[in-house]
Structure 1
Amino acid sequence: MKKQSFRIVQILVGLVFTTLLQAQNVVTTNEAISLALDNNYGIKIANNLIEEAENNTNILNSGFLPSLTGNAGAVYNKDSGRTEFNNDFDPRIISGAESSRYNANINLNYTIFDGLGRYYNYKTLKETYNLTEIQARETIENTIVQLLTVYYDVARRSENFGSLQTTLDISKDRLTRASYQFDYGQNTKLDVLNAEVDVNNDSINVINMRQSLVNAKRDLNFVTGNTISNIFEVDTDIDFLLTLNKDDLLEKLKQNNVNLIQVEKNIQINEFTIKANKSGYLPSIGLTGTYGWNESNNNLASIVGFTTNTGVSAGINLTWNLFDGGGTITRVKNAQIALENQKLQKEQLILSVVRDFENAWDDYQNKLTIFRVQQDNIRTAINNFQRTEEQFKLGQVTSIEFRQAQLNLLSAELNTNQAKYDAKLAEIVVLQLSGELLNSAF
């Protein structure tokens, strides 16, 4: 009767647990990536930097437009004075004489030619914008890698939690069986105590794994900008891109690797910098224009009492810095050295990235092999446990032998889970290095 009641409770608990799982939101990798792209703060900052770089490439920041300035002023005087004449006239005394002057003008300045300096500066701004886009792509790639690392950690812990929970259920069933057998005198109290110890140990493992799973889910929610509901599950199904070709990826790496593209953009920027610095060797030609208005209200001491002037003036000027102390020559030489260093760094980076790809590819293949071996191992462990369980129920093996088979199965499950997600993360590294991460589905 007790055994029947216990089985009913187990069934009810299982139904409730299944209902809760079904009610929870299952977040897929694509959904998590989409949430991260929309809400991750690092990506938001990168997008703002792109917008700033785009503003810098606007015609308003190019130097090709003229400058227009307006000036105005007013002066007020109140003077007192005494004037004496040489021809014996009486002195002339002025007290509190007021005068005022007003002026306003608009000045136009436009550089027609500056040795092509602003042209190459503008080209530099364009390439800087392109570089900022590549840097934003790098931020996105790193965020996706971080997201998938956390996501698959949640998936691994979820599967581990299920394995540990199953192990605990088996231990509880064994404790119930041992208790019944003790009640009917079929075994000793020692078997019951051993079963209780195993239940307690398994319970502790479940509690610890549950907490680590909760923490991992918080990490995943953090990467997505805290946009996932508090109760959610992840998809534990893994598909490997087994059609990947090493030679194809290696060729794409040289064209699409984000670090190599950034170095290439920096080289182009430095080439424009050299040309912009060389503009110091050439003259600068500019146009100037002014429209002005002046008004003067003079005091009684002046011969002219009131004047008003308006006028337009225009001119062209040429400036040629024939020698600036060697500053331009030094800047050009240093920019050429910097360009040469960047080309050397590119060659070094190519060797480094190719080496990293070779290592990542071998690591990926190795982890796939380990995962396949673990799959074979878990099938063996399941078969061994099932046979041991049947013999245990028939009393042909001891509880210690049964426990060992149970632990072997648990170890095989945990190792298989670890191997599966290690292989998937290794695959992600290969895709990132080859520049194919954003073109792949997970």
Structure 2
Amino acid sequence: MRYRFLIFVMWIAGVSGAMAQEVLLSKEEAVNLALENNFGIQVARNQVKLAENNKSILNSGFLPSLTGAAGATYNRDDSEIEFPGQVLEDGSPRPNLEIDQAEAQRYNGNLTVNYTLFDGLGRLYNYRSLKEQYSLSELQARETIENTMLQLFSVYFEVARLTENENVLLKALEISRDRITRSEYAFEFGQSTKLDILNAQVDVTNDSISLLNAQQQLANTKRDLNVVLNRSLNEDFKVDTLIRFIPMLELEEYIASAKENNVALLQTEKNLRINEYDIKVSQSGYLPRLALNGSYGWNLNQSAASAFFPGVNNTTYNLNLGATLTWNLFDGGGTAVRVKNAKIAYQNQELLNKQIELEVNRDIENALAIYQNRLNIYHIQEQNVITNQNNFERSREQFQLGRITGIEFRQAQINLLNAQTNKNLAKYDAKLAELQLLQLTGQLLNVDL
């Protein structure tokens, strides 16, 4: 039984050793993979391409239209002409006239050009609106990227936390295994009872189960990260557990410039500009329109010979130039309604801007408070680990000297284990809170993480 137990422990150690040989996935590499492969980011970039096409001069209405047309007609007639009551010079009836396979062809081609010289400035403001919509789509893509980066690091840091927890549990298992060995030696020399060995074996079993659960959770979280990176689910790796916090002075500078960089506020400003152009586009309905047009055409008519006329070929070339001025003096009030509605939409967007600005300021204040609180908790947990480490070392010395029981030693070990895992949790919670604050200040994609 003991032999199988040792094999089980050695298997756990072997798995852990194999994991140590995994390829390191750095934060920078994870970001690059997400930017290149993530489905949501790819869709957002395609939306930007659509908006870029829409803002092109080809979609503005400023260019003329040129239309070409051509046609051909073919006729073939078989006819018989009668002359009732008509006679020839010799007094005989005039015979019927038959015309077989009388062919006629008609060919034509023309080019027509139309150009709107003035449309009340509607297309000008619509063109400017399309440019603003392109800028808005870029901001929306940036928001998608920022949200994806938060999701990425949320999973990345969870992998890092579970990795550190696994190392903590491995050390705890090693200590528990060493305790079994000492208890067996002490029992052989009559310094302890069989109960001490059994307690140590129970603790090793519990530590082994905790380690297996942690390894399973770590494997699942790695698959979650592979989904975000859009790569093979079974791709194995290890992550960087080193965390660097941004100095508070630097964060305060970011907060001071948040109004100019926050993606939500920038989007509301773009929407307000688009609404402003919508008003001007609607107002263009009050002004006249001036259009120019021209055409050049060619026609060929080949007619067959008839009973009284010979066949002819008629070729015609024509050139037409013109201008059209239209002014919708009254359209039933449709333009007036559109202008009023556009102005109301603009007012609503102004109100929405103020609301979003207030909410963003609140979110920044809350995020800063949460970050500071979690950072303080992390520092406290760091000190707590030092305290529990010292307590554990003294407890181990006392246990080796036989001055405390295995239960008391185990309690010191559990206290240290909890302190270490709590510190790991606090560290990554603080870093995620910092990233959320950076997103609100518009700096998430501009800083080195």
Please report the TM-score for the alignment, with normalisation by the length of structure 2: 0.90
Q: Shift of residue 19 of structure 1?
A: 8.2
Pairing partner for 2:47 from 46, 49, 53: 49
What's the counterpart of residue 415 of structure 1? 422
C-alpha separation between the residues in 1 aligned to 2:251 and 2:148? 25
- Aligned counterparts, 1:250-265, within 5 A: 250-265=255-270
C-alpha separation between the residues in 2 aligned to 1:206 and 1:260? 46
What's the counterpart of residue 103 of structure 1? 108
* 1:375-427 CA distance string (max 9 Å, x none): 11111111111111111111111111111111000000011111111111111
What's the counterpart of residue 142 of structure 1? 147
SS of 2:257's equivalent in the other structure is helix
Pairing partner for 2:225 from 220, 224, 246: 220
Q: CA separation of 1:312/1:141 partners in 2, compared to 1, >3 Å: closer, same or farther?
A: same
Q: Shift of residue 186 of structure 1?
A: 2.4
Q: Shift of residue 132 of structure 1?
A: 1.0
What's the counterpart of residue 338 of structure 2? 331
Q: Which amino acid aligns with 2:371?
A: Y
C-alpha separation between the residues in 2 aligned to 1:253 and 1:85? 100
Q: Which amino acid aligns with 2:54?
A: N
- Aligned counterparts, 1:174-193, within 5 A: 174-193=179-198
SS of 1:68's equivalent in the other structure is strand
What's the counterpart of residue 26 of structure 1? 24
C-alpha separation between the residues in 2 aligned to 1:77 and 1:375? 99
Q: Shift of residue 338 of structure 1?
A: 0.8
* 1:137-157 CA distance string (max 9 Å, x none): 111111111111111111110
C-alpha separation between the residues in 1 aligned to 2:214 and 2:224? 15
SS of 2:61's equivalent in the other structure is coil
C-alpha separation between the residues in 2 aligned to 1:381 and 1:143? 38
Q: Shift of residue 299 of structure 1?
A: 3.3
Q: Which amino acid aligns with 1:313?
A: N
What's the counterpart of residue 67 of structure 2? 69
C-alpha separation between the residues in 1 aligned to 2:173 and 2:149? 35
What's the counterpart of residue 392 of structure 1? 399
Q: Shift of residue 183 of structure 1?
A: 2.9
C-alpha separation between the residues in 1 aligned to 2:63 and 2:81? 54
What's the counterpart of residue 35 of structure 1? 33
- Aligned counterparts, 1:318-357, within 5 A: 318-357=325-364
SS of 2:245's equivalent in the other structure is coil
Q: Shift of residue 170 of structure 1?
A: 0.8
Q: CA separation of 1:125/1:87 partners in 2, compared to 1, >3 Å: closer, same or farther?
A: farther
* 1:297-321 CA distance string (max 9 Å, x none): 2233474633111121111111222
Q: Shift of residue 264 of structure 1?
A: 0.5
Q: Shift of residue 82 of structure 1?
A: 5.7
SS of 2:31's equivalent in the other structure is helix
C-alpha separation between the residues in 2 aligned to 1:436 and 1:227? 31
C-alpha separation between the residues in 1 aligned to 2:418 and 2:358? 40
What's the counterpart of residue 427 of structure 1? 434
Q: CA separation of 1:40/1:337 partners in 2, compared to 1, >3 Å: closer, same or farther?
A: same
C-alpha separation between the residues in 2 aligned to 1:391 and 1:416? 26
SS of 1:438's equivalent in the other structure is coil
Pairing partner for 2:375 from 344, 361, 368: 368
Whether the aligned pair in 2 keeps the contact of 1:106 and 1:292 (CA below 8 Å) is yes
Q: CA separation of 1:83/1:328 partners in 2, compared to 1, >3 Å: closer, same or farther?
A: farther
TM-align CA RMSD: 2.6
SS of 1:65's equivalent in the other structure is coil
Pairing partner for 2:275 from 265, 270, 276: 270
* 1:37-92 CA distance string (max 9 Å, x none): 22222222222222222222222222111111111111222334566789957576
Q: Shift of residue 15 of structure 1?
A: 10
SS of 2:114's equivalent in the other structure is strand
Q: Which amino acid aligns with 1:27?
A: L
Q: Which amino acid aligns with 1:101?
A: R
Q: Shift of residue 28 of structure 1?
A: 2.0
SS of 1:293's equivalent in the other structure is strand
SS of 1:439's equivalent in the other structure is coil
Q: CA separation of 1:189/1:160 partners in 2, compared to 1, >3 Å: closer, same or farther?
A: same
* 1:2-60 CA distance string (max 9 Å, x none): 9xxx9xx98xx989966862x43222212211222222222222222222222222222
Q: Which runs of 5+ in 1 are unaligned?
A: none
Between Structure 1 and Structure 2, how many residues are aligned? Answer: 434
Q: Which amino acid aligns with 2:34?
A: A
Whether the aligned pair in 1 keeps the contact of 2:222 and 2:236 (CA below 8 Å) is no
Point out the more displaced range, 348-357 or 301-310: 301-310
Q: Which runs of 5+ in 2 are unaligned?
A: 88-93
What's the counterpart of residue 286 of structure 2? 281
Q: CA separation of 1:27/1:335 partners in 2, compared to 1, >3 Å: closer, same or farther?
A: same
C-alpha separation between the residues in 1 aligned to 2:414 and 2:234? 35
SS of 2:403's equivalent in the other structure is coil
